Amino acid sequence: MDNVATERMAEESHRQDSANLLIFIMLLTLTILTIWLFKHRRFRFLHETGLAMIYGLLVGVILRFGVHVPQNMSNVIPSCAVNASPATLLVNVSGRFFEYTLKGEVSRGKGHQVQDDEMLRKVTFDPEVFFNILLPPIIFHAGYSLKRRHFFRNIGSILAYAFMGTVISCFVIGLTMYGFVSFMKAVGQLGGDFFFTDCLFFGAIVSATDPVTVLAIFNELKVDVDLYALLFGESVLNDAVAIVLSSSIVAYQPEGDNSHSFEAMAMLKSFGVFLGVFSGSFALGVATGVMTALISFEFTKLRDFPLLETALFFLMSWSTFLLAEACGFTGVVAVLFCGITQAHYTYNNLSPESQDRTKQLFELLNFLAENFIFSYMGLTLFSFQSHVFNPLFIIGAFVAVFLGRAANIYPLSFLLNLGRKNKIGSNFQHVMMFAGLRGAMTFALSIRDTATYARQMMFSTTLLIVFFTVWICGGGTTPMLSFMSIPVGVDSDQDSSAVMADGLQRRNTKHESAWPFRIWYNFDHNYLKPLLTHSGPPLTATLPACCGPLARCLTSPQAYENEGQLRDDDMDLILNDGSFDAGFMYADVTVSTDATRSRTVSSSRSVRGGGDPAGHEGGLERELVAGEREPATRGTRLVLPTDERAEEPPGAVILPLPPPPSATLRAALTPDVEREPRLQF
Amino acid sequence: MDNVATERMAEESHRQDSANLLIFIMLLTLTILTIWLFKHRRFRFLHETGLAMIYGLLVGVILRFGVHVPQNMSNVIPSCAVNASPATLLVNVSGRFFEYTLKGEVSRGKGHQVQDDEMLRKVTFDPEVFFNILLPPIIFHAGYSLKRRHFFRNIGSILAYAFMGTVISCFVIGLTMYGFVSFMKAVGQLGGDFFFTDCLFFGAIVSATDPVTVLAIFNELKVDVDLYALLFGESVLNDAVAIVLSSSIVAYQPEGDNSHSFEAMAMLKSFGVFLGVFSGSFALGVATGVMTALISFEFTKLRDFPLLETALFFLMSWSTFLLAEACGFTGVVAVLFCGITQAHYTYNNLSPESQDRTKQLFELLNFLAENFIFSYMGLTLFSFQSHVFNPLFIIGAFVAVFLGRAANIYPLSFLLNLGRKNKIGSNFQHVMMFAGLRGAMTFALSIRDTATYARQMMFSTTLLIVFFTVWICGGGTTPMLSFMSIPVGVDSDQDSSAVMADGLQRRNTKHESAWPFRIWYNFDHNYLKPLLTHSGPPLTATLPACCGPLARCLTSPQAYENEGQLRDDDMDLILNDGSFDAGFMYADVTVSTDATRSRTVSSSRSVRGGGDPAGHEGGLERELVAGEREPATRGTRLVLPTDERAEEPPGAVILPLPPPPSATLRAALTPDVEREPRLQF
């Protein structure tokens, strides 16, 4: 009978778990429906993530104050003479052994309260879930959909903001907070220990800006591409920096555990840890990406099976994360660089269907994970039970975050402007300052450990910072942009009128790029691309003559077909003067005015297929725009000499039709076409 | 310092977890690459699931005998005076409270052995994962990709096999095993208790046939559609029956706990539980499906945002599962019927892009989950540590499974043939007998509880049955089919030459279908479809005149556009004589011989979009076939009067081109087209 009772209880617990998860699913469903309403009505003051947070808050309030679950008082507290807390515990219950796994420490003095709010505790689930399940797809998607051309054009500035800027911000915030905390201690407002390392840790976790909210808005408004690239690049990379930084600070804590004070040696060691972990993760991510590219390159016929291809791609990307975690590196960083590598090499080897599938899959995963995190954040404000809201600390934190962001943006922009040709204007700097939202990563880092008083206070404060920045700064982005008179509606990729300017701009790209990147580009284009993908010139053409046999054995038959047309989607990065035929471009543009009646048969494949997953970035917004565009624009886009048209011979692209019979014309101009984004004409 | 040590240990454990998961990912990757090799070389004797199992076995052997992880001896066994095993345990370790959650009972006498093989134990993870994460996508995909026309044509026989057949099989196996077990007890070969209810439980879990392996082979070989429908329908539905049956048996155990004997009252009660749970799950699944259809119908403009649509679809489908589990019903059953409903109603409301996305998403999830389960099965043979292999019991089980399957198929086929017009031939019966593989569901049900001696013996035996059937019966399917002289290569959906026969066949469909289904069809077509989807006639046309105002307010503007063309994808089910224009069909077929040069502009959308997700079922195999087909066949397919062409007016479909210039012809005939499955011409 005892056995049956246990089974019943396990069943009950399972039902409770299902119900809890159901709450989140319902929240997400509600969010989606409301987002749709917002999109439909063109509300832009509140982004979907802010919305998800509000819904989360509401449900949190209901769960906290509205629901009273009858308690079963079966939580026994045996006072065992155990002098350690092992990961697994075997309990001998009158001759039968039950296995228990460690869930974590319950905060002091809470021992007896715990029973009262078991349900809330259940809703607040394991923070590791964020790091292992929700964050990887978000970060991978960020890497996979990176607009590499703009990213690499600004790579120097991005690295400066992301690395130096985050470190500066971390220290500025840490020092400011240390000042505040010392003051609080003097005044007697502090209820527990708060060491200098805690301050630094706080600085590390709130320095990571969020790549989600503002950028979605920027993408929708088509803000200046350089500003977009700077903010996006910074916020993607500084997520990685923040993770490594915070774990380095924790790692070097044990040494100074008794003192919790600043030590030069320990700091240096921490810096070493930082470099080691970062470069290790970077190398691992790139290695897995390259391996995937090699597999999909070698197993050429895998292209016939998009399902297998997609599955392989997904598994390899996921294994990057696991491998990095298993090796003690940072999975999130590895996954980011894996995503960039996959987009750069593997993507070219995939079949068009798999290119679509992988993009859509990661877009969906990203969307779900993102909204889940944000609604969970809202929920936590009420469901988390060890909040420590200290007004002084909160004020201090807001001031510190402001100072930290300012110390990141303004001095670095000044220094960068000394070297940059196209300067980062002061209005750009103000927007970057303003758009430093804190989001998923800050939250995930702060919820990871909430055992001590210091960490609890940090967590509560972080939550408020996230709420404030997402709602106020996120909502204020559009007014801010117009106030700073930053042009919106710029889109160098798609606008037909911008083509010429764009062509000139690209020529400049070369001069803008620093020489290390030009060397890298040439190496990548001549050796890596041919070795790893089916695009680019054959190795036989690029390697010196002495390596002929080796080159021949490494070159795929497809590569020879590419010979003679050196343009590939790498024009994204830097352009070789010789490879760009201006005459061809003009010809294209001329034809494109006739695009409504032209048909591009053989090019459809490569237009959809070749190139850049970033082309579909922000698909949500793209759909909105696509719905409004005229068929002519759509046609024009096809014949633009964009870098997406990598593989077909120039002559076969445009097939002008004879004057169509009325039936054809009707069909060609029917709005039906607009409802079918795949049928390009 | 204590805190730090705990953190280190948690980190170590996290790394171990990542490594374990990595093993599975690597296994899957390896499986995918080998599958590809098999597909490429046309090996058919071993299906991918069998392959996954072999790899799992190998890794299991390596983990068991090759890897020795140094043990940390930190598993303390406190002998507490606890007289119950609560779900949560708070342990007081010198003033600090640690929370532990119950993982399960460790088998008796194993208490001290456990420490030795912690790693193996970690690889063998929670069986609930199967039920909550891996099974739902598989079952949903089965429902979503169901070929409804053939399914509903044989619905009576399928229900008979799945419900009556499974119950018969369960009892035959249970009784046979009871005989064997009694004999073993008499001989002294039994090492523990084995009650009659255990025998029945065993009968329930091994009666579920697997919809995965054989059907993939059938699909690839294009076996007779009726045979396919019978086997698929049976194996999908009997999964559900087996779950409900086994949990009913467990549920009625407590009552007869002291006797474990057969009681008429308890049996009746169990039957009531069975009916209640099954119908509850059914209702819930259908309800969620209908709700999704309503949402996607009401929020018409959601079509502009495929990402939102897909996410909503995914969340609603998942919430069905959770809702059912939270209510105490069976999630898997609910998800199956939700999938069928989604395919029937919601699918028609989705935008073409979302139709693709949802299909591809669930195809991928299904593929991953399936292969994961099978490789895990292989792994378990060596990693599970409480195997009880009893030769007599195993022999008995094999005999019982054979008898049970025979008692299901042959008598029921005989009875069904009395009522069926197109009889189930004896060669069909032999194949159905032979193709009764046991797979994922049997495994999942048997691993759910392995606490007692009886359950452990069952689990080990079940594992062997699964291995045997998947490798021997699965591998022998192709020879078996040719031995039974069952025609392969039949495909009524796509073959141009089969159109006429198919047309006639459809006419017969009506007469074959029983009258309840005809009534249901009319109700569904006239009222439900218009109410829930954008296809079908407007309600104003089908409702009686008195309901005019109501009908007008419930009908969407799109519905009026559909008026006058009553054909919709429901022709899948049963055909109304009047709605099928034979003359139109002839015309189509004539034109189709010229299809290579015809263009279908406005129809592309609906050909790809309208209709049936089952059209893409087994996409893996489809790709293989598509790669080999001539362009002409592809063209032909477009103009077939298949039920997929639901929405466009007949006249606008075919746009014959003037004699094409050579460039166009070259482009039109280039193999490039074959590599682009979306660009239909």
In this predicted model, what pLDDT tens digit does every residue of B59-78 receive, in sequence order?
A: 888 887 876 655 544 444 45
Closest-approach residue (CA) in chain B for A84? B93
As a whole number, the mean pLDDT across chain A is 70
Q: B397 CA to chain A: closest CA distance, Å?
A: 27
Residue B118 — very low, low, confident or very high, per pLDDT cuts 50/70/90?
low
Write out residues 13-32 of A within 8 Å (CB-CB) of B.
13-15, 18-19, 21-22, 25-26, 28-29, 32
Chain B contact probe: residue of A30, A38, A80 with most B CBs at under 10 A? A80
Name chain A contacts of B310, Cβ cutoff 8 Å: 360, 364
Q: What's the whole-number mean pLDDT along residues A463-482? A: 86
Q: What is the pLDDT of residue B661?
A: 42
pLDDT for A407 equals 93
Of A87, A352, A363, Cβ closest to residue B307:
A363
| pLDDT of A604 above 60 | no
Tell whether the model's pLDDT for residue A172 goes beyond 90: yes
Question: Considering only residues 604 to 623 of chain B, which have any Cβ-Cβ distance to chain A shorter than 8 Å?
Answer: 604-605, 608-609, 619-620, 623
Per-residue model confidence (pLDDT) at position A206: 92
Q: Pick the residue with more confidence: A177 or A145?
A: A177
Residue with tokens 């094409």: B660
User: Higher model confidence: residue A62 or residue A524?
Assistant: A62
B325–A18 CB contact, under 8 Å:
yes
- Token pair in block for residue A169: 């911000």
Its sign, for the CA torsion B186, B190, B196, B201, is: negative
- Which A positions 372-401 lie with beta carbon below 8 A of chain B? none
Contacts of A74 in chain B (CB under 8 A): 84, 86-87
Q: How confident is the model at residue B463 (pLDDT cuts 50, 70, 90)?
A: very high
Q: How far apart are CA B207 and CA A139, in angstroms?
A: 45
Task: Write a three-state SS string for B302-360.
Answer: HHHCHHHHHHHHHHHHHHHHHHHHHHCCCHHHHHHHHHHHHHHHHHHHCCHHHHHHHHH
Q: Whole-angstrom Cα distance, residue B333 to residue A678? A: 36
Question: Quick check: A264 contacting B, CB < 8 Å?
Answer: no
**CA-based angle B289:B290:B295, to the nearest 5?**
100
Residues 6+ positions from A547 with CB-CB distance below 8 Å: none
Residues from chain A contacting residue B312 (CB–CB below 8 Å): 29, 32-33
- Residue A399 is predicted with a pLDDT of 93
Is A91 in Cβ contact with B82 (below 8 Å)?
yes
Nearest to B135 by CA among B469, B443, B471, B461: B443
Residue A468 touches chain B, beta carbons under 8 Å: no
Q: Which residues in chain A have their CB less than 8 angstroms from residue B108's CB?
A: 95-97
Inter-chain CB proximity B93 and A85 less than 8 Å: yes
| Per-residue pLDDT, B113 | 45
* Residue-level pLDDT at B630: 35
List alpha helices for A299-434, DSSP H: 306-327, 331-341, 347-349, 352-383, 391-419, 426-434
With beta carbons less than 8 A apart as the criterion, state whether B270 and B200 touch. no
Percentage of chain B beyond pLDDT 90 is 10
Mean pLDDT score, A104-109:
52
Question: pLDDT tens digits, residue range B347-359?
Answer: 888 888 888 888 8
Cβ atoms B447, B127 nearer than 8 A: yes
Torsion of CA B55, B61, B64, B69, to 10 degrees: -60
- Residues in chain A with CB shorter than 8 Å from the CB of B39 are 304-305, 308
pLDDT at B135: 82
> Is residue B272's pLDDT more than 70?
yes
Instruction: Among A289-303, A660-674, B429-443, B515-529, name the most confident range.
Output: B429-443
pLDDT at B318 over 60: yes
Q: Is a pLDDT exceeding 60 seen at residue B675?
A: no
Query: Which tokens go with A84?
Result: 């350690």
Would the pLDDT of A542 be above 80?
A: no
What does the pLDDT look like over A378-421, one tens digit per residue? Answer: 888 888 877 888 888 999 999 999 999 999 999 999 999 888 87
Tokens of A433: 């300052």
Q: Has residue B209 got a pLDDT over 50?
A: yes
Q: What is the pLDDT of residue B73?
A: 45
Return the percentage of chain B with pLDDT > 70, whole number: 60
Separation CA B3–CA B126 (nearest Å): 28
Contacts of B237 (CB under 8 A, 6+ apart): B158, B159, B162, B163, B336
Residue A90, strand partner residues: A99
What is the C-alpha separation between A537 and A578, in angstroms, rounded? 14
Identify the pLDDT of residue B574.
35
pLDDT tens-digit readout, B383-439? 887 788 888 899 999 999 999 999 999 999 999 988 887 788 888 899 888 888 888
Pairing of strands B96-106, A88-93: unpaired
- More confident position, B229 or B515: B229
Average pLDDT over every residue of A220-242 = 83
| Whole-number Å distance between alpha carbons of A7 and A569 | 59
How are beta strands B96-106 and B598-599 bridged, if at all?
A: unpaired
Q: Which pLDDT belongs to residue B533?
A: 73
With 60 as the cut, is the pLDDT of residue A606 above it? no
User: Is residue B280 predicted with pLDDT exceeding 50?
Assistant: yes
Question: Quick one: pLDDT band at residue B115, thresholds 50, 70, 90?
Answer: very low
| Cα A239 to Cα A255: distance, rounded to the nearest angstrom | 26
Sign for the pseudo-dihedral over CA of B228, B230, B231, B237: positive
**What does DSSP assign to residue B66?**
I
- Cα–Cα distance, B17 to B119 (Å, whole number): 10
Stronger pLDDT, A254 or A136, i.e. the higher one: A136
Task: Output the pLDDT for position B74.
Answer: 47
- Inform me whether the C-beta atom of residue A676 falls under 8 Å from chain B C-beta atoms: yes
Which of the pair, A261 or A30, is modelled with greater confidence? A30
Judged against a pLDDT cut of 90, whether residue B202 lies above it is answered with yes
Question: Does B360 reach chain A within 8 Å, measured CB to CB?
Answer: yes
Tell whether B42 is within 8 A of chain A (Cβ). no
User: CB B33 to CB A295 under 8 A?
Assistant: yes
**A672 confidence band (pLDDT: 50, 70, 90):** very low
- In angstroms, the CA B401 to CA B206 distance is 7
Q: Indicate if the pLDDT at residue B604 is higher than 90.
A: no
Q: Is the pLDDT of residue A444 over 70?
A: yes
The 8-class DSSP code of residue B422 comes to S
Q: Is A26 helix (H, G, I), strand (E, B) or coil?
A: helix
Is B620–A3 a contact, with Cβ atoms under 8 angstroms apart?
A: no
- Segment B262-291 mean pLDDT: 82
d(CA B384, CA A442): 40
How sure is the predictor about A584, in pLDDT bands with cuts at 50, 70 and 90?
A: very low
Res A587: pLDDT = 30
Q: Does B175 touch chain A (CB under 8 A)?
A: no
Q: What is the mean pLDDT of residues A84-103?
A: 62
What integer pLDDT is reported at residue A156 of this predicted model?
Answer: 85
Q: How long, in residues, is chain B?
A: 681
Q: Looking at residue A68, what is its pLDDT?
A: 61
Question: Would the CB atoms of B311 and A675 count as touching at under 8 Å?
Answer: no
State the pLDDT confidence band at A464, using cuts at 50, 70 and 90.
very high
Q: List chain A residues with CB under 8 Å of B82.
A: 76, 78, 91, 93
Contact (CB<8Å) B75/A89? yes
Taking only the tens place, the pLDDT of each residue in B529-557 is 777 776 666 666 666 666 666 666 655 55
pLDDT at position A25, please?
86
* SS3 state of residue B88: strand
Give the model's pLDDT for residue B584.
33
ipTM of the complex: 0.71
Q: Does residue B648 carry a pLDDT above 50? A: no
pLDDT band at B45 (very low <50, low <70, confident <90, very high): low
Q: Give the chain A residue whose CA is nearest to the CA of B105.
A: A98
Query: Which of B26, B363, B663 has the CB atom closest to A655's CB atom?
Result: B663
Q: What values do phi and psi take at B363, rounded to 5?
A: -60, -45
Distance from CA of A622 to the nearest CA of B (A): 9
Q: In this structure, are residues A518 and A574 in contact, taking their beta carbons and an 8 Å threshold?
A: yes
Is A662 part of the contact surface with chain B (CB cutoff 8 Å)? no
B351 to chain A, any CB pair closer than 8 A? The answer is yes
Task: Please report the number of interchain residue pairs, chain A to chain B, with beta-carbon separation below 8 angstroms.
Answer: 376
Q: CB of B94 within 8 Å of any CB in chain A? A: yes
Contact criterion met (CB < 8 Å) for A301 and B679: no
Residue A626 to residues A38, A619, A678, B356: CA-CA distances in angstroms? 17, 10, 12, 18
A contacts of B21 (beta carbons < 8 Å)? 322
| Chain A residues touching residue B25 (CB < 8 angstroms) | 315, 318-319, 322
Strand B96-106 and strand A96-106: the pairing is antiparallel
B96: region left, alpha or beta (phi > 0 left; psi from -120 to 50 alpha): beta
Per-residue confidence at B647, pLDDT binned at 50, 70, 90? very low
> Is the model's pLDDT at B325 over the cut of 90?
no
User: Average pLDDT, whole number, for chain B?
Assistant: 70
Using an 8 Å CB-CB cutoff, list chain A residues near B76.
82, 84, 86, 89-90
Question: How many degrees, rounded to 5, is the angle at CA B110 between CA B106 and CA B114?
Answer: 80
Which segment of A171-185, B349-363, B390-404, B511-525 scores lowest on mean pLDDT? B511-525
Rg value, chain A, Cα:
28
Other CB atoms within 10 Å distance of the CB of residue A436: 28
Q: Bigger pLDDT: A403 or B104?
A: A403
Residue B353's φ and ψ, nearest 5 degrees, are -65, -40
Is 60 exceeded by the pLDDT of residue A594?
no
Predicted confidence at residue A515, as pLDDT, reads 63
Q: Which comes out higher in pLDDT, residue B147 or B135? A: B135
pLDDT band at A550 (very low <50, low <70, confident <90, very high): low
**Nearest Cα residue in chain B from A122:** B88
Choose, out of B11, B35, B308, the residue to mutate when testing the contact with A (most A CBs < 10 Å).
B308
Whether pLDDT at A283 is above 60: yes
Q: Which of B25, B370, B453, B674 to mutate to test the interface with A (most CBs of A within 10 A)?
A: B25
DSSP H or E run through B89: strand B88-93
Answer yes or no: is pLDDT of B313 > 80: yes
CB A541 within 8 A of CB A563: yes
Residue A312 sits at the chain B interface (C-beta within 8 Å)? yes
pLDDT higher than 50, residue B669: no
Q: What is the 3-state secondary structure (H, E, C) of A95-136?
A: CEEEEEEEEEEECCCCCCCHHHHHHHHHHCCCCHHHHHHHHH
Place of tokens 């897995």: A288
Most confident range, picked from A80-89, B64-73, B155-164, B231-240: B155-164
Task: Quote the pTM value.
Answer: 0.73
pLDDT the model gives residue B402: 93
CA distance B308 to chain A (A): 6
Lowest-confidence segment of A292-306, B28-42, B487-501 by average pLDDT: B487-501
